A and B are shown apart, each in its own frame.
Chain A
Amino acid sequence: MRIKWTFDDGIWNLAFLLDPEDDVKGICSDLAPLELRTNTCQVRLPGGTKSGPDVHPDLLAVAAWTVAAPWTRQKVTFDRPISPALAEVFRTDWGVDAGPVGGDPRSGTRLAISYSGGADSVAAADMIPEAPFIHFQRIRHPRVPNRWEFYRSDVLATLAGETGRDLTIVQSDLELLLNRPGPGYPEHHAVLVGALLLADDMDLGGIATGYEIGSRWLGGDRYIHRYTPDNPMWSADGKWGRLFQAVGLPLVLPVGGISEAVTMRLALESDLRDQVRWCLRGPRSGPCGVCSKCVYKELIQAAIERRPLDTKATTEMPVSRQWQGPPPYSGQEMIEYGCAHVPGIENTLFAKAADYLQATEESTAWVERCYPPAIDEIPEPWRKQVDAYIADKVGLMTADQMRRVETWGAR
């Protein structure tokens, strides 16, 4: 893989060229099969960005790697030398020969939050109120007709702007590089491309994200759905964790030890509750209410509010199909929690799932507490703050509850 970055008037253009052994078919770090559509993309930084072409080459290298990694087989050649430490991570953690090598490693001090506007990143924002936000906004790709106009990245950017926090919006079409399974981040870390390219400008020494216990410890999303202390995407010592560490931007998961039920409670209790939006489709006035994410999050919200489910979605709708068969389900710990806590669940589209799972308030109590190793994993400069917040507003799991986490998915 050969990487080429060009900078023009606040816009970083990336092109990557495949070596003979590379392929347009690839595997994401979460093991999902991917297919490349095209090999160019852009990242638009806001006006007034100072660093521009002088940004540290290691940052450019990792930023490029978040979109080029799935297609690279053996070797990556960057257009400017990377520090030996970074090259070493590529070699040992990725089995990839990266170069050319030269120069010093970078470092910084401040923490920024990669802010999507969903409940998880709002909870992270509430924990670290002084951290600036960096928001990734999808824009259309000049070479790809936009068949996904229902995706309202403009609404999410507007809501982020209404938080009143220090906000930098970074626009990019990199999601359109992905042909299969559809538009999205080639690697989950591509959402951090703006933080990487702005790290020198903002003197960043860490990036906080909203990945919660499901993503970090339970093999959630489209990963393996079992306990993953060595999660390759989000553990500090995983191959991505070490890569970000090498460019002076350790990944910080303030909500890595708590569930989506807790992040939602914290988000809805926070100052940013009016800007929380997990739906990617609804207009400024409100979420669509019938997409998969709306239905899933409504189950969680109904559970934390101990009230019946309030949704227009019915069992017959395609959105409900995923919960009509047996487990595993995506975000299963939340489905269990919802089925155990929502009154009248047997009369909803989750009736079948509830029947399969047989979850009880007692069996899901662990979901309301924080998994302590997640706090230990937070880099030292921010650990104390998160620890204090958790102690104040959440509380830690007991040994028995921790065992629930550590035996998750073992059957």
Chain B
Amino acid sequence: MMQSVARILVPSRLRRTARDRIDARYVTKPEHRQDIRNAREDARKDIRKSREDIRKSQEDIRNLRQEVQALRQEAETERRRQDAEAQQAQQEIQALRRDLVALRDEVNRLRQMTTTVNKANDVAVRGQRLAEQTAEALDHVLQNEVRVWQAIDGLSAQTAVTEISR
């Protein structure tokens, strides 16, 4: 719009001077070109850097993935170990439970046996007492037998005397 204004209003020299003044305030073509080249170069650098970053990130991701895999494996191993331990503990608990049952049976058996022995002992003590009492009672029976014969002999002697005197 300025060009058309100048062509219309301003002589060529003036116009040139003016134009020079105005142009001084703008970049030159070569400079512009250089700028573009620079910008392009910068962009290329950025792209390269980004690519590098992406590559690095991808490597990180791979590493992390490996790490995660390792951890997963480790976790799995640990889980298996714990499972095995838990199973073993379970088995031990079961074994203990069986032992406990067996012990309970044994205690019951012994308890019964004690009862049986005590009963047998009671029977023996009662038997002993009975034997002693029987023997003592027999002593009296034997002694009474002596007395009974003494009385019978006394009576028959009296009867004999009575019969003779008749």
Asked whether A18 lies within 8 Å of B138 as measured between CB atoms, the reply is no
Contacts of A411 in B (CB 8 A): none
From A2, A20, A24, A145, B143 is in contact (CB under 8 Å) with: A24
Question: Shortest CB–CB separation between residue A384 and chain B, in angstroms?
Answer: 48
Does A107 count as interface, using CB distance less than 8 angstroms?
Answer: no
Q: Distance (Å) between the CB of A248 and the closest chain B CB?
A: 32
Stretch with Cβ within 8 A of B (4 or more), from A35-43, A155-163, A324-332 = A35-43
Contact residues of B between 115 and 153, Cβ < 8 Å to A: 131-132, 134-135, 138-139, 142-143, 145-147, 149-150, 153
Number of B interface residues at 8 Å Cβ cutoff, please give it.
16
B154 within 8 A of partner (CB) = yes
Q: Does A22 contact B (CB under 8 A)?
A: yes
Candidates A2, A18, A22, A145; contact of B134 at CB < 8 Å: A145
Q: How far is the CA of A145 from the CA of B131 in the complex (A)?
A: 9
Q: Which of A2, A19, A38, A147 contacts B142 (CB 8 A)?
A: A38
**Which parts of A18-56 form the interface with B (CB within 8 Å)?**
18-20, 22, 24, 35-39
* Closest chain B CB from A142 CB (angstroms): 11
Q: Is the CB of B150 within 8 A of A18?
A: yes
B139-A179 in contact (CB<8A): yes
Q: Are B150 and A144 in contact (CB under 8 A)?
A: no
CB distance from A331 to the nearest CB of B (A): 30
Inter-chain contact A22/B142, CB cutoff 8 Å: no
**B144 nearest in chain A by CB position:** A24
* CB neighbors of A among B53-107 (8 A): none
Shortest CB distance A56–B (Å): 28
Q: Are A38 and B146 in contact (CB under 8 A)?
A: yes
Chain A interface secondary structure, helix, strand, loop or mixed?
Answer: loop
A20 touches B150 (CB 8 A): yes
Q: Which residues from A are CB-within-8-Å of B153?
A: 2, 17-20
Q: A17-B153, A37-B139, A179-B139 are in contact. Are A24 and B134 (CB under 8 A)?
A: no
Kindly provide the distance from the CB of A53 to the nearest chain B CB, expressed in whole angstroms: 25
Question: Which residues of the partner chain B approach A145 to less than 8 Å between Cβ atoms?
Answer: 131, 134-135, 138
Q: Which residues of B have CB within 8 Å of A147?
A: 132, 135
Q: Known: A17-B153, A20-B150, A22-B150. Contact between A38 and B135, CB under 8 A?
A: no
Nearest-Cβ distance from residue A141 to partner chain B, whole angstroms: 10
Known: A38-B142, A38-B146, A179-B143. A20 touches B154 (CB 8 A): yes
B134, B139, B153 pick with most chain A CB within 10 angstroms: B139
B148 CB to nearest chain A CB (Å): 10
- Nearest chain-A residue to B152 (Cβ)? A17
The reply to whether A18 and B143 contact each other, CB–CB distance below 8 Å, is no
Interface string of A1-25 (1 = CB under 8 A from B): 0100000000000000111101010
**In the complex, A393 has a CB within 8 A of chain B:** no
* Chain A residue at minimal CB-CB distance from B147: A24
CB nearest to A38 among chain B residues: B142
Known: A17-B150, A18-B149. A144 touches B138 (CB 8 A): yes
Of all chain A residues, the one with the shortest Cβ separation from B154 is: A20
A35 to B147, CA, bound (A): 13
Query: Does A143 have its Cβ within 8 Å of any Cβ on chain B?
Result: yes
Contact of A39 among B135, B139, B146 (CB under 8 A): B146
What's the Cα separation between A179 and B135 when bound, in Å? 11
- What's the Cα separation between A280 and B134 when bound, in Å? 26
Q: Which one of B132, B143, B147, B153 has the greatest number of beta carbons of chain A within 10 Å?
A: B143
Selected A-B contacts with CB under 8 Å, 25 pairs: A17-B149, A18-B147, A18-B150, A19-B150, A19-B153, A19-B154, A20-B153, A20-B157, A24-B143, A24-B146, A24-B147, A35-B143, A37-B139, A37-B142, A38-B142, A38-B143, A39-B146, A39-B149, A143-B138, A143-B142, A144-B135, A144-B142, A145-B135, A145-B138, A147-B132
Q: Which 5 A-B pairs have the closest CB atoms?
A: A38-B142, A145-B135, A18-B150, A20-B154, A39-B146
